[in-house]
Structure 1
Amino acid sequence: MMNIGKKLISYRQHNRLSQEELALKMHVSRQTISNWETGRTYPDIQSLLLLAELYHVTVDDLVKEDVKKMEDKLTQLKIRWLMIGIATSIILNYLAFASIRWIPIGIACMLVGTFTTIGVIMIYFYVKLTRSLQLRTFK
């Protein structure tokens, strides 16, 4: 469950509101409130603004930690795809070298050059991304 669900429960209970009472104030169903609190769905921006106003907090107070989690997931996905791309580039390079036996050497060299360039670009972005995250290896 995302942190916003826990925060919504806490703010609602602090204001001594039931899910039904909050739903009436928000002009949504009680089920919608329940879905937000359990993390099944996420409030849209209008609902976040209304919740922030209702609870006398900022939208940032409601979503700040969730945004960080979303950014972390996106970064992990980028790293995963870069690693897949690098591995694919290495495999394609190997196949391009092996293809010298079957295709003209000029075409094989262009394939090797293309796949090497793609691999180097992906490695550059991987290094840039890991440096921005300040990832360190153990010595």
Structure 2
Amino acid sequence: MFSTDRQTHRQIFLEAWRKANAQEPLEPLESQLVELMRRHPEYLPFLEDGERALDQDFPPELGQTNPFLHLGLHLAILEQLSIDQPRGIRDSYQRLLARLGDPHQVEHAIMECLAESIWRVQHHRLPFDEVGYLDCIARLERQG
């Protein structure tokens, strides 16, 4: 799944969507991806566009969300929850879920913290700050 080549990475998403539409058997990861895609119908026309999607850029100044990044962050959060890594994220998720009531909304809230943490890694060239990430999520838990 994980590749440093943007087109290879994107092709995995597109192939999972193609297989789902063709009712072909899906690998477990592909099933997860398809479920995430279905929770974001606004991305489906783009994903169905296939080849154009492989090369499209999403500059922040245009205000367009990168569907591959967004879906990839969802997938990262689901993986973190499945292994409780960083330790404690599963409990934080459950507390947020009790407050917000919608798993997708909780993932989006956590996604903001994850995106901020990744941005810091990229721009400051420091290791991922698990404590800072969990602190950000804890602040979400305290918001009313």
Q: Give TM-score scaled by structure 1 length.
A: 0.26
Q: Give TM-score scaled by structure 2 length.
A: 0.26
Larger RCO (CA under 8 A, 6+ residues apart): 1
Q: Is the helix fraction higher in 1 or 2?
A: 1
